[in-house]
Chain A
Amino acid sequence: MSAVTVSDQHAASTKAKIIQPAWVRALHWTNAFAMVLMIMSGWQIYNASPLFGFTFPRSITLGGWLAGGLLWHFAAMWLLMVNGLIYLVMGFVTGRFRKKLLPITPEGVISDTRAALTGKLSHDDLSRYNYVQKLLYAGIIVVGILIVLSGLALWKPVQLQYLAALFGGYEGARYVHFFCMAAIVAFLVVHVALALLVPKSLRAMIIGR
């Protein structure tokens, strides 16, 4: 009896084990597209009045000049915001955030980081995130929220002045917006590198299994 149950479960899990459901995949790639547009057009805008002593190479910016960069930025922002809002709502409503990202314990993060750095981290079950993934994915959601809010504060520092005040006013929001971008780009580098190191995780984000 118990043997039958086990084999049934096994059959069910191998036949239709969806690691990344369709809504996650659709939102993920829409976000990736919107994010690339936002970052490249954002670099164009940054170059018009750099906060620091460097500019981004023209070849990796979008829009050709400031007006073009702004047009792209304020068009792609709708895609990014609407897609991001759907993701947040779905993440809470379906319980995905709770199931996938929680709990995050310091001990878990430390031991998984050590395992990752020594090449001993298991990727056998892609449906369960390790603690490093949990921390990075939860963290990047928070950064994503911050970059949108600081961006809205920069766009409307008078109409949304209370939001801007949370970031230390217009000039403060510029720095928050920049460092959130830097965090997202850093995340992107690690995220893409790891996805290429574990190709089946990339496959799961494309075809679901």
Chain B
Amino acid sequence: MGRMRKLLIPGVDKTLLVRDAVKSMPDLTRRRFISGGASLGALTFLTGCDVTDSFSAEEMLKQVSKFNDGVQALMFNPNAMAPTFPESAITKPFPFNAYYDLDEAPEVDGKTWKLEVRGLVENKKSWTLDELYQLPQVKQVTRHICVEGWSAIGSWTGTPLRDFLKLVGADTRAKYVWFQCADKDGYNSPLDMPSALHAQTQMTFKFGDEILPRAYGFPMKIRVPTKLGFKNPKYVMSMEVTNDYKGGFWEDQGYNSFSGS
């Protein structure tokens, strides 16, 4: 909500602004946005609240979701490791999953790509892929759980994010690490600092011992086995250490922001 408010322009009618914004959305997003709204309208009879009231079902659900963010942050145990599995348990083929088809997945040129590092860090230098490949890597075989309910076990290899944050002199008292990605329509996602500092949270460069293929996020993915899949951004272009909640692609559409597992 804070993000929405910042985006609103003084003197511009909010309703018209939202209507125009919906028009510019890609078809799928627009359909979901509208069907979401329509069903909330249908719920009016259940809750006795009109959705146009300041206290609407939608607003109540948003507040509970925020409350759930807090509950999950309290439940998060930095020392609890996601269960690991033998290599024989790896799901083959590991599913490709996105809001677009595989042939629309970003094609990032690894030779020119640089990871941009911004925000509350001492060293804001950008990193080439070769430089990142020099950092120590560890492998994990963990379960990826999608917000849709399905799960799959995969093998990811890369540098623990906390080691990298230390290396660039990040202020780890900041609230979030915010990732921006190359996906069409601009994917981004915030990661709370305690989860970013979890031992298994990883800047991933390999899947199944091979250089991360395009389908799984080349050149770099952030693997967070303590979060649902959509909090594991692929095709990462930049990271920003920040105290501001900057929202995320799915988070802004109503998915719970913490979405821890």
Contact = CB atoms under 8 A, between A and B. Distances in A.
Contacts of A170: 143, 145, 151
Interface stretch (A18-26, A57-65, A93-101, A143-151): A57-65
Contact of A70 (B32, B46, B75, B147): B147
Contacts of A78: 64
A13 to B, nearest CB: 39
Given A62-B43, A67-B36, A74-B68, A159 B260 contact: yes
Contacts of A70: 147, 254-256
B77 interface: yes
Given A71-B254, A72-B61, A64 B149 contact: no
Contact of B32 (A65, A71, A74): A65
A161 interface: yes
A205 interface: no
A199 interface: no
Nearest to A169: B83
Interface residues of B, number: 40
B146 A49 contact: yes
Contacts of B254: 67-68, 70-71
Contacts of B68: 74
B20 to A, nearest CB: 22
Contacts of A169: 83
Contacts of B60: 75
A156 interface: yes
A71 B149 contact: no
A71 B68 CA distance: 10
Question: For the complex, would chain A's binding face be called helix, strand, loop or mixed by DSSP majority?
Answer: helix
Interface residues of A, number: 27
Given A72-B61, A74-B65, A170-B151, A67 B253 contact: yes
B261 interface: yes
Interface string A52-96: 000000000011111110111011001000000000000000000
A207 to B, nearest CB: 22
A74 B64 contact: yes
Contacts of B80: 158-159, 161
Interface in B19-54: 32, 35-40, 43, 46
B146 to A, nearest CB: 7
B41 to A, nearest CB: 9
Given A65-B35, A74-B64, A48 B260 contact: no
B230 to A, nearest CB: 10
A159 B148 contact: no
A161 B81 CA distance: 9
A161 B254 CA distance: 26
A68 B58 CA distance: 9
Q: Which 10 pairs, one residue from A and one from B, show the smallest C-beta to C-beta distance? A: A64-B39, A67-B254, A49-B149, A75-B64, A48-B148, A71-B61, A49-B148, A64-B36, A49-B150, A158-B82
5 contacts: A49-B148, A66-B147, A67-B32, A158-B80, A171-B151
Interface of A: 37, 45-46, 48-49, 62-68, 70-72, 74-75, 78, 156-159, 161, 169-171, 174
